[in-house]
Amino acid sequence: MKVSSKDVISVNNFSFSYPQTKKPAISSMNFTVKEGEFFCIVGANGAGKSTLCDSLVGLIPQYFLGTTKGQVLVNGQETTKQTVAELSLEIGLVFQNPFNQLSYTTSTVAEELAYGLGNHGIPRSEMLDRVAAVAKKMRIESLLDRDPLTLSGGQIQRVAFGSTYILNPSILVLDECTTQLDPIGSEEIFTIIKQLNDEGVTVVMTDTETERLSMYADRILLLDNGLQMGVDKPQAIFAREDLEKLNISTPLNYQLTQELTKIGILDSPEFNQDIILEKIKEVENGYR
C-alpha cells in the first residue's frame, strides 16, 4: 500500500519532563506520520526515543507523571482524551523486552494472544478466529499450545508482537523490539513488520540497526538529547555530516551506495537493494 496524504499521528510542539528533573526528556517535537508510512526514529541512547514512543500511545502523560506541553493527536484525537486501553485499539506498542509484554496469567501462546481480546470483551468465537489469523501472520501456528515462558527470544517476541497486533490497531509503535534478538530472530521480525506495512499498517519504529532502518524507512526522525534534529528521507538523514557528533553510525549500505554514486553506477544514494542490484547488473552487462 502506498503512503496516503492523511496524517494519522500529529505531534504539535510536544515536550515532556519527568518529575523532579529540570531538563525535558523530549522538547518541542513537531512532526506528522502519514497513513501507511514506515516512520523510523533514530537517536543515541538517552535521546528520548522511548519517551516519544510512550507519548504516542498515551502512556505519557496518563501513566507517567510529569510536565507536558503541546499535544499528540492519533487519528485526529488528542491522546489525553481517551484511556490508554481505548487508544490501544488504534495504536499498539511493542516493547524491547518481550517478557514484559506477557500477562503472566496464561499457560499457552493461544491464551496469551487472546488475553487483550478478553479484556475488550470480544466474544470467544471471534477470539478463536483472530488468534488463528494472527498466529499465521506471526508464523507461530506451531507454538499455539506451548507455554510462552519456554519459547526462544525470537519466538517470544513474535508472541508479544502478535498480542499487540491482535487488537487490530492501524498504527504500530515498535520500541527497539529487535534489540535483544539474534540476527535470524531480528530478520524474522523485520519481515513481519514489512509485510504488515505493505498491507497498510502504519509503522513507527525505533531501532539501533540503522542499516535495516535505512532500507525500510519512508522517513526518519533524528533525535538528540531530547531535541528534534530533523525529519527527512533516509538518504537525506544519513547524508548529514553531524551524524558522528550525534553518536549515530552511518549505515554501511549508505557508505556503499555513496561510493557507487561517486563512480557513477547510481545517480544518487539508494537503499532499495533491488534497484542497486539492477544498476550493478546494467553496468555488468555493459562491460560484457
Partner 1 sequence: MTDNWVRRLNPKTKLLMIPVFGIATIVSPGMLLGLFLLLVVIVMAWQANIIKKFLQTMISFGIPIAVMLFIIQGLYSPQNHTYVANLGFAKLGLEGLMYGGKLLVTLLVFMGSFYLFNKTIYSGELAAALIKSSLSDKGGYLILASLNVVPQMKRQLQVIKEAQEARGVQTGGSLLTRIKVFIPLMGPVILSSLIDTQERGMALELRGFDLKNVSKTSYIQVVDTKLDKLFRIGMLLFLIIVTAFSIYLKVRR
**Given the rule CB under 8 A, which residues bind partner 1?**
54, 57, 59, 63, 83-86, 88, 92-93, 95, 97, 99-107, 110-111, 114-124, 127-128, 131, 149, 163-164, 167
Give the phi and the psi of residue 22 in degrees, each rounded to 5.
-85, -40
**75 or 261, CB closer to partner 1?**
75
**72 or 248, CB closer to partner 1?**
72
Q: CB within 8 A of 34, min separation 6: which ones?
A: 3, 4, 5, 6, 7, 8, 202, 218
What is the closest distance, in whole angstroms, from the C-beta atom of residue 10 to partner 1 in the complex? 21
Q: Which amino acid is at 50?
A: S
What cell numbers appear for 196 in the block?
A: 504488515
CA atoms within 13 A on the CB side of 284: 6
What is the closest distance, in whole angstroms, from the C-beta atom of residue 40 to partner 1 in the complex? 21
What is the closest distance, in whole angstroms, from the C-beta atom of residue 28 to partner 1 in the complex? 25
Give the phi and the psi of residue 204 in degrees, each rounded to 5.
-120, 120
**35 or 112, CB closer to partner 1?**
112
What is the closest distance, in whole angstroms, from the C-beta atom of residue 163 to partner 1 in the complex? 7
**108 or 249, CB closer to partner 1?**
108
Q: Does 251 sit behind a cis peptide bond, omega within 30 degrees of 0 on the bond before it? A: no
What is the closest distance, in whole angstroms, from the C-beta atom of residue 80 to partner 1 in the complex? 14
Cα gap 201→168, rounded to integer Å: 9
Cα gap 63→53, rounded to integer Å: 13
What is the closest distance, in whole angstroms, from the C-beta atom of residue 49 to partner 1 in the complex? 15
Question: Assign residue 91 a region: left if phi > 0, alpha if psi is -120 to 50, beta otherwise?
Answer: beta
**92 or 251, CB closer to partner 1?**
92
What is the closest distance, in whole angstroms, from the C-beta atom of residue 250 to partner 1 in the complex? 32
Beta strands in the chain (DSSP E): 7-17, 26-34, 38-43, 67-74, 77-78, 91-94, 171-175, 202-206, 219-224, 227-232
Grid coordinates 498504527 are at which residue?
171
**124 or 288, CB closer to partner 1?**
124
- With vertex at residue 73, the alpha carbon angle to CA 236 and CA 63, rounded to the nearest 5 degrees, is 105
**83 or 247, CB closer to partner 1?**
83
CA atoms within 13 A on the CB side of 64: 20
**15 or 103, CB closer to partner 1?**
103
What is the closest distance, in whole angstroms, from the C-beta atom of residue 258 to partner 1 in the complex? 39
